[in-house]
């Protein structure tokens, strides 16, 4: 079965601190994509960062970076110099090609609160 586990339902840090959100997944596939999506109070889903499983180098987008450990099936998100606007739900997901179509498997989300 394909699953994604986000073990932290909620986290809270002070503005400007660094925070790491954990994500583990389970799949027997070898090729897949991994994503972190952000859902602010407006409820729109916004892509934060993407990682191809065949790439060893960790993806980075400005203040956002990932620690991708393929053998451990771990894909954590690090937010540096956190800002108030980072307050949102964060969802980890991976996409595989199976049964002739693409399947996107989602975690339950982590609620991140940035305090002033």
Partner 1 sequence: NAGVMQNPRHLVRRRGQEARLRCSPMKGHSHVYWYRQLPEEGLKFMVYLQKENIIDESGMPKERFSAEFPKEGPSILRIQQVVRGDSAAYFCASSPYSGPRDTGELFFGEGSRLTVL
Binding site for partner 1 (CB under 8 A): 33, 35, 37, 42-47, 50, 52, 91, 95, 97, 99-104, 106-109
Give min distance, CB of 115 to partner 1, in A: 20
Cβ proximity to partner 1: between 28 and 42 the closer is 42
HSE value, Cβ hemisphere, 13 Å, CA-based, for 16: 1
Give min distance, CB of 65 to partner 1, in A: 18
**Which residues are registered as beta bridge partners of 41?**
none
Cβ proximity to partner 1: between 57 and 99 the closer is 99
Give min distance, CB of 75 to partner 1, in A: 13
DSSP 3-state percent helix, strand, coil across the chain (nearest 5): 5, 55, 40
Cβ proximity to partner 1: between 68 and 91 the closer is 91
Centroid of chain to Cα 90: 7
Cβ proximity to partner 1: between 23 and 79 the closer is 23
State how far the Cα of 75 lies from the Cα of 95, in Å rounded to an integer.
Answer: 13
Give min distance, CB of 87 to partner 1, in A: 15
State how far the Cα of 29 lies from the Cα of 115, in Å rounded to an integer.
Answer: 39
């Amino acid at each position: 079965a394909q699953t994604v586990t986000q073990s932290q339902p909620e986290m809270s840090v002070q503005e400007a601190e660094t925070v790491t959100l954990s994500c583990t997944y389970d799949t027997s596939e070898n090729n897949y994509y991994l994503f972190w999506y952000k859902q602010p109070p407006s409820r729109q889903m916004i892509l934060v960062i993407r990682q191809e499983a065949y790439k060893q180098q960790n993806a980075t987008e400005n203040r956002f970076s990932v620690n991708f450990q393929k053998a451990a099936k771990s894909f954590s998100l690090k937010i540096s110099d956190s800002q108030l606007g980072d307050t949102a739900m964060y969802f980890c997901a991976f996409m595989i090609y199976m049964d002739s179509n693409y399947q996107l498997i989602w975690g339950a989300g982590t609620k991140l609160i940035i305090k002033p």
